[in-house]
Amino acid sequence: MFIIVVGCGRVGSELAYGLYKKGHEVAIIDFVGGSFSHLPPDYRGRTIEAEVLSEDVLRRTGVEEADGLAAVTNSDSVNAVAGHLARAVYNVPNVVVRNYDPRWRELHEAFGLQVVSSTAWGAQRIEELLSQPMGRAVFSAGNGEVEIYEFAIPEPWQGRTLEELSPPGTECVPVSVTRAGQARLPRPGMRFEKGDVLHVSATLAGMEELRGRVAVREER
């Protein structure tokens, strides 16, 4: 694939290098030439020193043939405009923009862009680790609104059913149960056994409810 990365800071350089090492054709744009020093010495993709919003910079970079574009500068307005141009004007099929300041996130969403907010996601993840150590997130969708959590079934829940732990209709949906090293799809009436590991897809509120049910039973 041919991918354009806008912004060669820490995020952009890491992204461009990772894509390059996986065999993709990469072009990275930054208006500060010194920013390219963030790239490892063995990076062999293109570097373009230019202001991305200047006339024809994206076109000269080859945006019309690009399979994807990531706008990851520390300017939310630049990311939003660059992403919008790539998608609406040049019809780039896959556009992702970085949200730097969560207060500007609505700007990106107004353009209907795929948004990654490392600040919002990181703050939520740290909060979870500090306040709720039971159950760790192993996958995050969007900006952390829905995550997949993994935790070992505690002893007081052995022999209890899946529905007791995660009732239908809650914001916590069982994804898999790993037993004796083999993962299996949850089924109605399944009872937990010693050593079971449960994966659930949940919102933060749904996971807090599940943790509450586990804590109540452990106290008995």
**Gap between the Cα atoms of 199 and 26, Å rounded:** 36
Rounded to an integer, the average pLDDT of 47-74 is 94
Query: Could you report the per-residue pLDDT of 176-214, keeping only the tens digit for each?
Result: 999 988 999 999 899 999 989 899 999 988 988 888 888
Q: What is the mean pLDDT of residues 45-73?
A: 94
The three-state secondary structure class of 161 is: strand
> What are the tens digits of pLDDT across the range 91-100?
999 999 998 8
**Residue 92 confidence (pLDDT):** 96
Distances in Å between the Cα of 219 and the Cα atoms of 121, 134, 142, 152 are 32, 15, 35, 17
DSSP string, 100-111: SSGGGHHHHHHT
**What domains sit in the chain, N to C, each tagged with a CATH number?**
2-116 (3.40.50.720), 133-219 (3.30.70.1450)
Q: What percent of the chain has pLDDT over 90?
A: 58
Average pLDDT over residues 115-125: 78
* pLDDT of res. 220: 54
* Bigger pLDDT: 152 vs 185: 185
Question: Is 90 exceeded by the pLDDT of residue 29?
Answer: yes
Confidence of residue 109 (pLDDT cuts 50, 70, 90): confident
Q: Across residues 65-85, what is the average pLDDT?
A: 94
- The strand order across the sheet containing 68-71 reads 46-49, 25-30, 2-6, 68-71, 95-98, 114-116
